[in-house]
Chain A
């Protein structure tokens, strides 16, 4: 037979876990329902295809990507484009802080360079290729 004091503790633990699980599910559901996840995935694919296109183009070029990404952190690293919500991830001294459970990722195939860029809430992105070297700036 469990004592009354122990039952209070069990009830409290259950309540706390319940709230925690509810908040996680609510956050994930909200991200999916609001279209934020789809938008992040679409941006990741868009940017990956854009980089593949730039690599396939033989000459110097510059493209301005005019989609407003000020709600996101764009990380281009090791052949992957990762899009994180700026609400969950911050950039500090060029490093990502925090984690986003619903971040989106898509891969591209780099050439002999290995582009690494982190752009914090960019209102636009400028892709530039000069003498075969790709640079991405906000």
Chain B
């Protein structure tokens, strides 16, 4: 077998500088392949950001592990237990995770028995929250129940940051 027809090339291959460029070329090739593949894949399976934000935000007012009101019989959707608001937010409700959204919550409550004027509770932030002017804001109309069992209509302000 004539493997020496490129004798000079093979001689070059025995030098360290060849291997240096060889490794760099292979590395660049691999990075381009994976980058292009990932970009095309991400485009194919794109999830609208609003959908994921909504799914994550719903737990704040629907889940009893967050602030949803719960009595002996059932849990109440969109009813916030004011005595729970803020408690265990970053441990039980939204612990540190790798999701790409951060949340900051505040509650505007008009005319509580103990506070006759509009009172603002919060803000309470998830661990990954970074204050930003580009944060989006959603307002959810909710009912709150205070420590006396009184009900009020209130606004839950949910600020959302894309952190990745």
- Which residues in A have some Cβ–Cβ distance to B below 8 Å? 1-2, 4, 6-8, 10-11, 14, 21, 24-25, 28-29, 32, 37-38, 41-42, 45, 49, 52-53, 55-59, 79-80, 107-112, 132
Contact = CB atoms under 8 A, between A and B. Distances in A.
Given A107-B99, A110-B95, A55 B14 contact: no
Nearest to B23: A17
17 contacts: A7-B4, A7-B11, A21-B26, A25-B29, A38-B44, A42-B44, A45-B45, A49-B55, A52-B55, A52-B59, A55-B65, A56-B59, A58-B64, A58-B76, A80-B98, A108-B97, A109-B94
Contact of A32 (B41, B65, B97): B41
Interface of B: 3-4, 7, 10-11, 13-14, 26, 29-30, 33-34, 37, 40-42, 44-45, 47, 51-52, 55-56, 58-59, 62-66, 68, 74-77, 88, 91-95, 97-100
A56 B3 contact: no
B84 to A, nearest CB: 13
Contact of B75 (A11, A38, A58): A58
Contacts of A49: 47, 51-52, 55
Given A28-B37, A58-B77, A109-B59, 10 more contacts: A11-B3, A25-B29, A41-B41, A42-B44, A49-B51, A58-B64, A58-B68, A107-B100, A108-B97, A132-B64
A79 B97 contact: yes
Contacts of A32: 37, 40-41
Contacts of B99: 79, 107-109
Contacts of B10: 2, 7, 10-11, 14
B3 A8 contact: yes
Nearest to A32: B37
B45 A41 contact: yes
A23 to B, nearest CB: 13
B39 to A, nearest CB: 11
B44 to A, nearest CB: 5
B47 A45 contact: yes
B75 A52 contact: no
A118 to B, nearest CB: 18
A15 B160 CA distance: 54
Nearest to A55: B59
